[in-house]
Chains A and B, each alone.
Chain A
């Protein structure tokens, strides 16, 4: 079972867990990414996510497939990523992986988030307390910044 989606509404974690649950599994590992109030020392008030949606969905599917095939018994993998304007504490990404045994579920979950962060064409623009905003990449680097007029 593989499910991936880019969503504009809050992610329903319980529903996502339901997608990977079955009587054959003994472990469900979940990872949630949330919007933090500071980055590189700058107070953050919110994040805006955008994507090359067609490609992001393809990459998410590929990553989910790779994670699923890591062990002898395939994992079930569900991934949802938010797009649009998010507030502090909002869940930006949810990854749920199930398997008969915990080691494979935990490994699958970590694999998905690490690959997602380097391959999936999703971008974020941070909004700061001082009224400025900047595109940020996953090394924490400010790609560009601007003052909102």
Chain B
């Protein structure tokens, strides 16, 4: 399946991009998307377990993904 991966703020700077089109196995879960990101150049500075959102909602690591999902890595938030 293909999913869209979104990066923001410090994570986007670390990986040098704001979005990626990623190919994952059909039974992939959030953890697999995270592993994909971890293998990219620049990902060393990411925390061990960054927050993840799927389709604009916080999601656990074991959440199944489906074709076309929007997966976002959420850096520590700083609103206010």
Contact = CB atoms under 8 A, between A and B. Distances in A.
A56 to B, nearest CB: 8
A80 B45 CA distance: 32
A120 interface: yes
A67 interface: no
A128 interface: no
A120 B77 contact: yes
Given A121-B8, A135-B10, A55 B56 contact: yes
A52 B8 contact: yes
B78 A122 contact: yes
B interface residue count range (under 10 / 10 to 19 / 20 to 34 / 35 or more): 10 to 19
A144 interface: yes
User: Which of B13, B14, B77 has the most CB atoms of chain A within a 10 A radius of its CB?
Assistant: B77
Interface residues of A, number: 32
Interface string B64-80: 00000000101111111
B57 A123 contact: no
Interface stretch (A7-15, A99-107, A110-118): A110-118
A116 B10 contact: no
Interface string A116-145: 111111111100000000011111010110
B77 A118 contact: yes
Contacts of A50: 8-9
Given A55-B57, A58-B56, A135 B75 contact: yes
A33 B80 CA distance: 6
B24 interface: no
Interface string A21-38: 000000000000100000
Given A122-B77, A124-B78, A138-B80, A144 B13 contact: yes
A143 B45 CA distance: 10
A143 B72 contact: no
A123 B56 contact: no
